[in-house]
Amino acid sequence: MADCKSFLPIIDYKSKILILGSMPGIKSLEMQQYYAHPQNRFWKLIGKLCACNDLQLLDYDKKIQILLKNNFALWDVLNFCKREGSLDTNIQNEIPNKIPELLKEYPNIKIILLNGSKASCAFKRYFPQLLTQYYCYKMPSTSPANAKSSTDDLFREWNQAINHIN
């Protein structure tokens, strides 16, 4: 089992939508970039949501700029875990991030999107009080392991959650 440590959050004071994954996969940890695995559809999805259809082709710093420009923030529910491989089902000995503190520091966050089942389950376990304070949505995972959802399916569901309060 390898020790896995989350990254710092990507956020600014204009952010309104916080996307929470569970824990970066092996490729992301190696590259020190969120959603670095080329088969993960996260950046393609964010590109569609931000009307920047070639986002996944841009360098990482540009992706982050566009993410923030469109009022998104990015982090993980978990700060630390032990895991063999990249699958969420292999996560053990998890320790959560300090999400309540982050939300206090960034009061413009109104929507929390939980990218996949593990992120949603861990968020509900560690932060049940936040479920009534924010619009929280369990979203279908952008992971290649979620083969049943096409990018168009992901877009429809994520877009609906984002626009629920607008």
**Which of the residues are catalytic?**
40
Distance CA 89, CA 70 (A): 31
- Cα distances (Å, whole numbers) of residue 129 to 18, 23, 95, 133, 134: 16, 21, 18, 7, 9
| Angle subtended at Cα 142 by Cα 65 and Cα 159, rounded to the nearest 5 degrees | 70
CA nearest to 99, candidates 83, 118, 76: 76
Query: By three-state DSSP, how is residue 97 classified?
Result: coil
Sheet of 78-83, strands arranged across: 2-5, 78-83, 92-96
Query: By three-state DSSP, how is residue 6 classified?
Result: coil
Judge whether 116 and 42 are in contact, CB under 8 Å.
Answer: no
